[in-house]
Amino acid sequence: MAEDIKTQVVEKVKSSPVFAIQCDETTDVSQCSQLLVYTRFIWKESVEEDMLFCCPLEASATVADVFKAVSNFFQEHDIFSEKLIGVCTDGAPTLLESRSGFVTKVKEKAPSAISTHCFTHRLALAKMTLPSQLQKHLNIMIKIVNHIKHSALNTREVVSRYKNTA
């Protein structure tokens, strides 16, 4: 079943005129470093978002390891990096470093790609310097977003309601 879902997502990305990725490295409960790559693409006149792939980072989470994992996945599935227009990361120095970071390597393969710092990570950084009253309101907003993104059903309900009011 997982292979079928992956095939469907890859086919949608390949048929999209453009797509973007968001990368995040995390350590799971067994202390194994995992690379999570999400994608946004155009499918049937709407923007879709889905997990593209997840893979363990064997030795470390260096720029070379992350870039190799993404490049290998693209090559294995015939995804053309020329269609990549955006790359979002969590702002970790190894991913953003201006001379040899992941974003720089991606831009060598996809020069038109625009890099962004993950919105959620930016909020977390901004939250550290906010007055307590604003922090309180931001915490409420974060809870709302987390609730919506917690499940596909919640996300679909919000999107459906938004489409009905627009």
What does pLDDT average to in each consecutive run of 10 residues of the chain (166 residues)?
A: 91 95 82 88 92 84 84 93 88 60 86 79 70 83 81 76 69
Whether the CB-CB separation of 22 and 38 falls below 8 Å is answered with yes
pLDDT of amino acid 99: 59
Q: What is the pTM of this model?
A: 0.69
Whether the CB-CB separation of 123 and 109 falls below 8 Å is answered with no
Based on the domain organization, do 37 and 107 belong to the same domain? yes
- Could you tell me the residue range of the domain that residue 145 belongs to? 130-166
pLDDT of amino acid 97: 57
Domain membership flag for residue 123: no
**Who contacts 166 (Cβ-Cβ below 8 Å, separation ≥6)?**
none
Domain membership flag for residue 15: yes
